[in-house]
Amino acid sequence: MFNGQLLKELRLLNGMSRQELAAQLNLTEQAVWQFESGYAVPKMSTQFQLAHLFYVNTDYFEQESVPETFDTSSIAFRNGDSLAKKVISIQQAYLHKLSCMIDYLESFVQIPRLSIYDLVEKTGKFYDQGWTIEEIAKLARQELGVADDNSDLMYQIEKSGIYVAEKIINGEADAYSTWSKNQRPFIILGVGKSAVRRNFDLAHELGHLLLHRGVAFDELDKDGYHDMEDEANLFASCFLLPKERFRQDFVNMVGKRVSNPDNYIALKKQYNVSIQALEYRAYKLGLLTPSQNSYFYRQIAKKKYKAIEPLDLEFIVKKPSKVRSILDVILSNNLLTLEQLGANQRVSLQFFSQLFNFNLKFFDKYKANDIVTFDNVIPLKRRRSD
């Protein structure tokens, strides 16, 4: 039986409206609504079109729906206080499919005790006791074991048990984070940012996961929402730039010309953090006066550093690697073949590469494992010597 809910999920997963999908199928929007609502079943020719369009098998639509794994109220969208309902629905569908696929992949591997859960418990306890965000950030950095230059931030966050993914996020949001209903933490990063800005996004979303677990973001008024964002920004700043070490490095490396953005370049190399984030931290620590801070940002605008800063093109943008590592373990150890992987989930390899945003060529080295030979079944005859 055709499951229209799965069609709706795939449509949203691909960021399409009913009208856009209808145009692809050369049908009316009303017809698509009927398919999704269960009032009509598409012809087999249409089902083949859908399967081809969304990189799934035709029997994909015969599966039962999995209960929703995310509550949209728990999603902390960065810079996205005015997101449209459509954008939120698309991200919810994406998170749901991402989580379901991770559940499937994790069933083949042994997942160790993850440090993020202990850290969340400690954070909640100490925050309730009146610890400052500065102290919470220092604790989090120590627990995660992040390198002094923040170069391994992505790795340490993924290692802790947080799943990080990247995708194009339509609308105003740069990134977002959330806890699933089964208490799995996620950070979703937008694409197209520099490595140093990505580091700040990671730290910002980590702050939301630690400080704002259980907050119903959709119930906050504008001021309440911006308070949460300010706290996450402060956490990120304190986390990436530990106070005492940063203060000393700032004095030694920036010097007295604190309003000149170019004087922060060496410090940017030191911490893998943007020039603007470095100045923000310094200003909050009282290392710049308000007039120096204002002049700094006039220079940022004049030099057009808001779009791209010095060294931005030299730093390698780190990509999430945890899912690829799990897939590598599964496929390298022949726990699944590529054919079985696709058949079990009723999708193509293109579906996996799109969902997890990695190159389809990732699968090339495992294709040899799918080759079936008959050497052991049909041995070569030995010729009799004359």
Hey, what's the torsion of the CAs at 165, 168, 169, 172, to 10 degrees? 130
Q: Which of 209, 96, 214 is nearest to 158 (CA)?
A: 209
CA distance 59 to 104: 18
Residues 269-282 have pLDDT tens digits of 999 999 999 999 99
Task: Give Cα separations from 293 to 7, 250, 254, 258 (angstroms).
Answer: 52, 15, 14, 9
Question: Given this model, what pLDDT does residue 165 score?
Answer: 96
Residue 80 in tokens: 């996205």
Question: Given this model, what pLDDT does residue 343 score?
Answer: 95
Helix (H, G, I), strand (E, B) or coil at 296: helix
- Domain extent listing, the chain: 68-240+317-334, 241-303
Overall size of the chain counted in residues: 386
Question: Given this model, what pLDDT does residue 200 score?
Answer: 97
Alpha helices in 38-114 (DSSP H): 44-54, 85-106
DSSP of 164-177: EEE----SS-SEEE
Partners of residue 56 on adjacent β-strands: 347
CA distance 150 to 73: 31
Residue 96 in tokens: 């749901």
- Sole residue written with tokens 């943007």: 274
Residues 35-64 have pLDDT tens digits of 999 999 999 999 999 999 999 999 999 999
Q: Which of 80, 13, 36, 31 is nearest to 220 (CA)?
A: 80
Q: What whole-number percentage of the chain has pLDDT above 70? A: 92
Residues 77-124 have pLDDT tens digits of 876 544 567 778 888 999 999 999 999 999 999 888 789 999 999 999
CA distance 258 to 240: 20
CA distance 122 to 144: 13
Which residues neighbour 291 within 8 Å (Cβ) at sequence distance 6 or greater? none
Question: Given this model, what pLDDT does residue 75 score?
Answer: 83
- Reply yes or no on whether the pLDDT at 381 is more than 70: no
- Sole residue written with tokens 């010095």: 310
The identity of residue 165, as a single letter, is: A
Question: Given this model, what pLDDT does residue 84 score?
Answer: 65
Helix (H, G, I), strand (E, B) or coil at 16: coil
Helix axes 195-211, 133-144, angle to 10 degrees: 110
> What confidence category does residue 339 fall into, taking pLDDT thresholds of 50, 70 and 90?
very high
CA distance 272 to 152: 10
292 in Cβ contact with 177 (< 8 Å): no
- Reply yes or no on whether the pLDDT at 375 is more than 70: no
Calculate mean pLDDT across residues 139-168: 96
Calculate mean pLDDT across residues 331-348: 95
Architecture of domain 68-240+317-334 in this structure? Orthogonal Bundle (1.10)
- E-strand spans in the chain? 76-77, 163-166, 175-179, 185-189
Report residue 255 CA to chain centroid gap.
Answer: 37
Phi, then psi, of 235 in degrees rounded to 5: -60, -50
Residues 211-225 have pLDDT tens digits of 999 888 888 888 998
Output the average pLDDT for the chain.
Answer: 91
7-11, 170-174, 377-381: least confidently modelled range: 377-381
Q: Which of 68, 84, 274 is nearest to 169 (CA)?
A: 84
Calculate mean pLDDT across residues 163-175: 82
Question: Given this model, what pLDDT does residue 215 score?
Answer: 87
Helix (H, G, I), strand (E, B) or coil at 186: strand
Question: Given this model, what pLDDT does residue 369 score?
Answer: 65
The identity of residue 21, as a single letter, is: L
Helix axes 115-128, 153-160, angle to 10 degrees: 90
**Which one-letter DSSP state was computed for residue 157?**
H
Q: What is the pTM of this model?
A: 0.90
Partners of residue 187 on adjacent β-strands: 164, 177
Quote the Cα angle for 225-231-232, to 5°.
90
